[in-house]
Chains A and B, each alone.
Chain A
Amino acid sequence: MAETTLKDIGGHSAQPNDLSGFVSDWSSDQRTFKNVPWGKAMMWIFLLSDTFIFSCFLLSYMTVRMSTTVAWPYPSEVFALSFGGDPIPLILIAIMTFILITSSGTMVLAVNFGYRKDRKKTALLLIVTALFGASFVGMQAFEWTKLIVEEGVRPWTNPMGAPQFGSVFFMVTGFHGFHVSVGVLFLILMARKVWRGDYDTGKRGFFTSRKGKYEDVETMGLYWHFVDLVWVFIFAFFYLW
C-alpha cells in the first residue's frame, strides 16, 4: 500500500481544481497530493529546495556585482571563441544551451514512451539524453580549462576586472555542472533498468528494494528538466546580463 498512488479519490474526485479545490486537498482529512506518485511529490519538494539553493547563488552574484566599484568583465567577450576567423561572442555557451534543450526534448520523449511501456525506445532515449548531458559537461570542462589556463581566471582574481567574477563563475557553473553530472549517472542507471525490463517485471531495486514503475522515468525527467531550467536562469543572468 505504501508504494501505491492514491488514484481512486472516491467521492472526492468532484472537487473543483480551483482555490476551493486547493483548500479541500490541503484539509486535514485529505491526502494532499492526489494522483501523484510519492516519488514524484518528493522530487518536486527536493527541486523546490534546490531552487532556493540556486536562488541564493544567483542572489549572491547580484549582490557582489551591484556592490563592486570595479568594472565587471564583459561575458560576451570573455566567452567568445574563435574558429580561425573573428571571435564569435558567447558561441560555446549558445551551443551548450541548445544541447541542454535538445536533451530536454529527448527526455520528455523518453517519459512519453515510458508511459506507453515501449521499453526499447524509452531506454534508447534515456541514453541519448545522457549523451547530450555528458557532452554538455565536456564543453563545460573545456570552458573551465580555457578560462583557468589561458585567461588566468581564479576564484580570487582575474585579468578582466572585478575579482568576484571568478568565484561566482566557478561556484554557479560548477554547482550546475555537478547537477548535470549526477543526472547523467542516474540516466544511465535508469536506462539499464528500463532496458532490462525491471519496470515490466516489477524487479526490486538494489538500493531501495522497491518495485519500480514507469512513473519513475517521469520523476527522473523532472530532475533533468530542472537542470535545464536552472541553466535558463544562469544563461540569462550570468552570461547575457
Chain B
Amino acid sequence: MADANTHVEGQQHPLGVYIKIWAWLFVLSACSYAVDYFHVESYLRWTLILLFMFLKAGLIVAVFMHMMWERIALLYAIMLPPAAVLVFVAIMVFESDNTFGLRKTFFSVFTGS
C-alpha cells in the first residue's frame, strides 16, 4: 500500500469504504445462514460455510481492523503466527481418528453390542 507511510492522523478513510464492507458482511452472513436454511448437505455445505467464513473474516480484518493499510511489519507479526494453529489442527485430526477407531473397536467389546 503506497499510502501506508502517509497517515499522519492515524487511520482515516472515507466512510464509503466502511459502508460498502458493512453491506457485504450482511450479504455474506445471509448467505451462510441460507446454507443451513436450505439444508445444503455434505461437501457443498462445508465448502460454502468455509468460503463465507473466510470472506467475512478477511473483510473484517482487512478493512474494519485496518490491516490492509498497516505496514507489513505489523501485518506479518500478527497474521503469520496463527498459521501454527493449522499444524495443531492436522495433529488433532490424526489423534481423533485414532481415538475414534479405538472406541469403535473396544466399546463394542466391553458392551457386547
Binding site for B on A (CB under 8 A): 7, 9, 13, 17-19, 21-22, 25-26, 32-37, 41, 44-45, 47-48, 51-52, 55, 59, 62-64, 66-69, 76, 89-90, 94, 97-98, 101, 104-105, 107-109, 111-112, 115-116, 214-215, 218, 221-222, 225-226, 228-229, 232-233, 235-236, 239-241
Q: Is the interface of B mostly helix, strand, loop or mixed?
A: helix
Are A105 and B22 neighbours in the complex by a CB distance under 8 Å?
A: yes
The residues of A that contact B57 with a CB separation of less than 8 Å are 229, 232-233
Are A236 and B71 CB-contacts (below 8 A) given A112-B15, A115-B9?
Answer: no
Are B71 and A108 neighbours in the complex by a CB distance under 8 Å?
A: no
Are B76 and A22 neighbours in the complex by a CB distance under 8 Å?
A: yes
The residues of B that contact A215 with a CB separation of less than 8 Å are 10
Are B89 and A233 neighbours in the complex by a CB distance under 8 Å?
A: no
Nearest CB on A from B70, distance (A):
7
Interchain residue pairs with CB less than 8 A apart (19):
A17-B2, A18-B72, A22-B76, A25-B72, A32-B77, A44-B74, A52-B81, A52-B82, A62-B89, A63-B96, A68-B103, A90-B33, A98-B29, A112-B13, A218-B66, A225-B64, A228-B60, A232-B53, A240-B35
Are A111 and B36 CB-contacts (below 8 A) given A9-B5, A228-B60?
Answer: no
Nearest CB on B from A111, distance (A):
7
A68 to B97, CA, bound (A): 10
The residues of B that contact A36 with a CB separation of less than 8 Å are 70-71, 74
Question: Residue B109 at the A interface, CB < 8 A?
Answer: no
Q: Is the interface of A mostly helix, strand, loop or mixed?
A: helix
The residues of B that contact A44 with a CB separation of less than 8 Å are 74, 77-78
A93 to B77, CA, bound (A): 33
Are B96 and A66 neighbours in the complex by a CB distance under 8 Å?
A: yes
Interface size class of B (residues with CB under 8 A): 35 or more
Binding site for A on B (CB under 8 A): 1-2, 4-5, 7-13, 15, 18-19, 22, 25-26, 29, 32-33, 35-37, 45-46, 49-50, 52-53, 56-57, 60-61, 64-66, 70-74, 76-78, 81-82, 85, 88-89, 92-93, 95-97, 99-100, 103-104, 107
Are A34 and B71 neighbours in the complex by a CB distance under 8 Å?
A: yes
Are B92 and A240 neighbours in the complex by a CB distance under 8 Å?
A: no
A1 to B92, CA, bound (A): 47
Are A69 and B103 CB-contacts (below 8 A) given A35-B7, A97-B29, A104-B25?
Answer: yes
Closest Cβ neighbor of B104 among chain A residues = A69
Which listed residue (B4, B7, B52, B60) contacts A236, Cβ 8 A?
B52
Are A55 and B53 neighbours in the complex by a CB distance under 8 Å?
A: no
